[in-house]
Structure 1
Amino acid sequence: MTYPPEPWSLRGEAVLSFWIVDGGLLCTAFVDYQPGGVMAYHELLVARPARFGVTITQIWVDSEASRDGGRELWAIPKEMASFDGAHSARGIASAEFSWPRRGLRVPARARTRQGEVVAKLAASGKVAPVRVGWAFDPGGPLARLRGRRPVVSLAVRELAMRFGPRA
């Protein structure tokens, strides 16, 4: 096994944006998992609400261990990507914003549903609204979001997350 066993305890920061696309809700997020958790890596994901949770439809990471563990433990379709810092995945997307000075500590619980595989998620962090300038590569997998504006975006600092086990 090249990845940690479930559950994964992770720490870091994130920026999330919520979009209305084709009449439904879509979330994009850059997450910077930092030292202090079981792994440190960068991630860009796209998720949609699903029955009893969310489904991750696209996701890129810069860690083979995260890719392999996500696929094998929870059926998450992680792919490899090159990141230029925490908020730029080469050939896919980048996000520019300024971190808010303050935030309200918010706990959250959710489930991911990838086909028949359901995993639990518990997180908390200091959350604040933020304006995000997203740029999507015209030939990249998220080109359909070019020219669109998110409904709302949130910055999350001091993120502490526990992902897994399967429900």
Structure 2
Amino acid sequence: MSETEPFPPEPWDLRGRMHVGLRQVRPSRLPRWPLPDGVRPLAVGGRRLLLTFCVDYSSEGTLAYRELLVALAVRQGRRIGCTAVAVWVDSEQSKAGGRTLWGIPKEIGEFAWEPGAGPPGTEHVRLRAPGTGEVRAAFRPGRTLPGRLPIRTRLLQEVDGEVLAVPAHLTGRPAPARASFRPDPAGELAFLGEGRPLLSFTLEDFRFRVGFRPPRERLG
């Protein structure tokens, strides 16, 4: 990437450590996020499936930054995927690239990411941003499991009126984790305070490739 380019070209090869959560939430508790044309939420038992990612991207990858991303499980015809609906990063390059390349609605937030009070290994993340107020999260990973967990999906996003199936390939060393969120009850992420995630895990030493090699795949 040259000094005159606002963000790196795709695909991005990212590295680092992340905490992942899967939860079910009543539709009435969620904001009315806009979805790409023809893309619908995936309903399970009348509830929406949400994935949360708290990520510390290291300088070993394309960009180094921190991120809190909420993705909604969706379908487009018979295709199942995710749509990133609420995202905060602490990098202007990541914000510009995510929005321009893939239609990911990234906003700028202020992160604190550090060990804190609690059992050994507990990690605390704090986000402050307009609209969210203060969101606090705590993660306590267990013992790392053998092998690397592979995850492949498509982010169904809209860019300039076109629906893209953005390829995302992630691998990492998984560890089951306990996770808790304390969002501002008046903020945009208040729903994260409801109950416990169905599944929480940490990915150590992850490798994440997102984006296209030409040609791009267009869905509509």
The residue that corresponds to 2:197 in the other structure is 150
SS of 1:98 mapped into structure 2: strand
Aligned mate of 1:66, from 94, 103, 108 = 94
Q: How many residues align?
A: 167
Q: CA RMSD in A?
A: 1.4
SS of 1:144 mapped into structure 2: helix
Pick which of 107-116 and 140-149 moved more: 140-149
Are the aligned partners of 1:93 and 1:134 in contact in 2 as well (CA < 8 Å)?
yes
Counterpart CA distance in 2 for 1:97 and 1:74 is: 29
Deviation for aligned residue 1:92: 4.2
Alignment of 1:121-140 (within 5 A): 121-140=168-187
Deviation for aligned residue 1:62: 0.3
Is it true that 1:85 corresponds to 2:113 in the alignment? yes
Letter in 2 for 1:79: E
Is it true that 1:96 corresponds to 2:143 in the alignment? no
The residue that corresponds to 2:33 in the other structure is none
Is it true that 1:109 corresponds to 2:152 in the alignment? yes
Q: Return the TM-score normalized by structure 1.
A: 0.93
Is it true that 1:17 corresponds to 2:21 in the alignment? yes
* Percent identity between the two aligned chains: 41
Deviation for aligned residue 1:113: 0.5
Aligned mate of 1:40, from 39, 43, 64 = 64
Larger Rg: 2
Counterpart CA distance in 2 for 1:85 and 1:131 is: 17
Deviation for aligned residue 1:48: 1.1
Are the aligned partners of 1:136 and 1:142 in contact in 2 as well (CA < 8 Å)?
yes
Distance 1:121 1:35, change over 3 A: same
CA-to-partner distance for each residue in 1:97-156, whole Å, 9 max, x for gaps?
223331241111111001312210111001121111211122221012324211111111
Counterpart CA distance in 2 for 1:75 and 1:20 is: 24
Q: Return the TM-score normalized by structure 2.
A: 0.72
CA-to-partner distance for each residue in 1:61-89, whole Å, 9 max, x for gaps?
00000000000000000011000126221
Counterpart CA distance in 2 for 1:65 and 1:137 is: 27
Higher relative contact order structure (alpha carbons within 8 Å, sequence separation ≥ 6): 1
Counterpart CA distance in 2 for 1:112 and 1:92 is: 27
Where in structure 2 are there 5+ consecutive unaligned residues?
27-46, 115-124
| Moved beyond 4 Å, runs of 4+ | none
The residue that corresponds to 1:8 in the other structure is 12
Deviation for aligned residue 1:50: 1.6
